[in-house]
Amino acid sequence: MKRKKHLMFIFGLLFIINLLGYCVIQYQLEREASIEIEPKSLTEVNNEEDVNVTLLRSKDWPEGKFYHGVQYDVSILNDSSHQLTAWEITIPVPKKAKVTDSWNIVYKCEDDILTASPVDYNMIVEPHSQQTFGFILKTKEIEDIESLHAHFIPIYHSSDYPLFWANVAFTCILFISAIISIIVELRTASLRSQNLMDKHIIIQTMKTFSNFVDAKDPYTRGHSARVAYYSRELAKKLHLPDRDVELIYYIALLHDIGKVLIPDDILNKPGRLSPEEREIIETHTTKGAGILKDFDAISGIADGARYHHEHYDGSGYPAKLSGEDIPFLARIICVADSYDAMSSDRCYRPRLDNDTILDELMTNSGKQFDPEIVTAMLDLIKETNFFEVIEE
C-alpha cells in the first residue's frame, strides 16, 4: 500500500513536470508570435531571419503625351525555417503616381505611399519559397524606387523547440512506465492473492492434522491451535523476525502430532500413569519428529515436536538437552504448551486458577522454562488477557 502511494506520488510529480514543460513551450510560442521582421530599405531587407524582398522595374512605356506606364515586380523570398504571415510592404512611389493595375495583392495608395498586403491565397509565405506580386503605375516621371518597408509575422510551431521533443520523449517514457507499473501491480496483486490462498490451504491442512491429534483426547480439544497462537504471540514479543513468527505458528500446530501413535487408553487415562505408561506417552516427541522428518518445507518443524518437552535445566525429555542447546522455537513452545495445559481442564484435574498459573511460571523460570521466555509470557499476560483466549 505504501509502495503504491510512493509510486502514485512519483508519477504525479513527473506528470506535473511534463505539464510545466508544455506550458513553457506554449508561453514561448505566444511570445515569439509577437515578433515582427521589419527590413528598413532595399539594401537591408536581407535580415537575420533570411527574408529577402526585391523590387524590379521590369518595364516602362509612354502613355499619352505626359505620362508613362511603369511595371514593378516584387518578390518575397522566405529562406527562413518559419512560415510568414500577415505581411505588409510599403513602397514610396513618385508624386501623383496612380496604380492602374496590380496582381497578387490588395493595395491602397495614399500620400504617395503604396501599401501592399496579401490576398487570401497568398497570406502565408512558406519556408524556403518565394511569392511574387506586381503593380503598374501611371506616372509623370520615371523614378527608381530605392527603399521599401516590409514586415512579417513569423509562425512558430511547438515542434520548432528542442524542449518540445524532450517533452514528447518524456511523455512516452512516462506513459510506458505507467503501463509497466500497472502490469506489475496487477501481477503482484494476482501473486499476492495466490499466496494468500496457498497460505490458507497450508494453515487449514495443518489445522486439520492438529484437530486430528486433539480429537484423540476430548480434554485437549483446541490445545494445538491455542499453543500455536500463544507461541506466535511470544515470538512477536521476543522480537523474532516476521518469517520466524509465521513459522513458529505452523511448527506449534503440529508439536503433539506424535500423540496419534499413542494408544487412547494411555493418553486418556484419568488416574495416575505407571512409569511404563509415562514412558510410552513421552515417546510422542520422538514419534512426532519421525512423522515430520520429511516435512522440510518448514524448517524446524520436526525439532518442535521432538524438543518441546525438554527443560531448561536439562530435566526434560527425550534428549535431556539444557539451556541454549534446546532449539529456541522448542523453548517457546514449551512455555506456551505448559501455559495451555495449566489453563485448561484435563482428564486428571480441572484448570488451575490464574494466580497459580502465574506462580508456576515464575517458580519454574530457569528450571523447566527459559527465563527470558517466561518474562515475555508474564508481560503478555499483563498486556493482553490470555486467560480469555479460547480458540483462534
* Catalytic residue list: 259
For residue 168 the three cell numbers come to: 514528447
User: Between residues 55 and 257, which has the closer beta carbon with respect to Fe ion?
Assistant: 257
Least CB distance from residue 333 to Fe ion, whole Å?
Answer: 9
Least CB distance from residue 281 to Fe ion, whole Å?
Answer: 9
Least CB distance from residue 326 to Fe ion, whole Å?
Answer: 14
Pick left, alpha or beta for residue 323 (phi over 0 → left; psi -120 to 50 → alpha; otherwise beta): left
**Per rule CB under 5 A, count of chain residues that contact Fe ion:** 1
Task: Give the three-class secondary structure for 105.
Answer: coil
Least CB distance from residue 212 to Fe ion, whole Å?
Answer: 15
- 370 contributes a contact to Fe ion by CB under 5 A: no
State which residue has the least CB distance to Fe ion: 256
| Spatial distance between the Cα atoms of 79 and 22, rounded to a whole number of angstroms | 28
Output the CA–CA distances (angstroms, integers) from residue 304 to 65, 145, 289, in the order listed. Answer: 130, 110, 8
Least CB distance from residue 305 to Fe ion, whole Å?
Answer: 8
- Which span (20-28, 51-59, 248-256, 366-374) binds Fe ion, by CB under 5 A? 248-256
Output the CA–CA distances (angstroms, integers) from residue 216 to 38, 79, 262, 273, 333, in the order listed. Answer: 105, 99, 9, 17, 20
Q: Is the dihedral of CA 186, 190, 191, 196 positive or negative?
A: positive
- Which span (132-140, 256-264, 270-278, 340-348) binds Fe ion, by CB under 5 A? 256-264
Q: What are phi and psi of 310, to 5 degrees?
A: -75, 145
User: Between residues 307 and 386, which has the closer beta carbon with respect to Fe ion?
Assistant: 307
161 exposure class (CB count in 10 Å sphere: 0-12, 13-18, 19+): middle
Residue of 256, 303, 310, 370 interacting with Fe ion (CB under 5 A) = 256
Pairing of strands 129-139, 106-110: unpaired
- Which span (49-57, 173-181, 183-191, 253-261) binds Fe ion, by CB under 5 A? 253-261
Contacting residues toward Fe ion, per CB under 5 A: 256
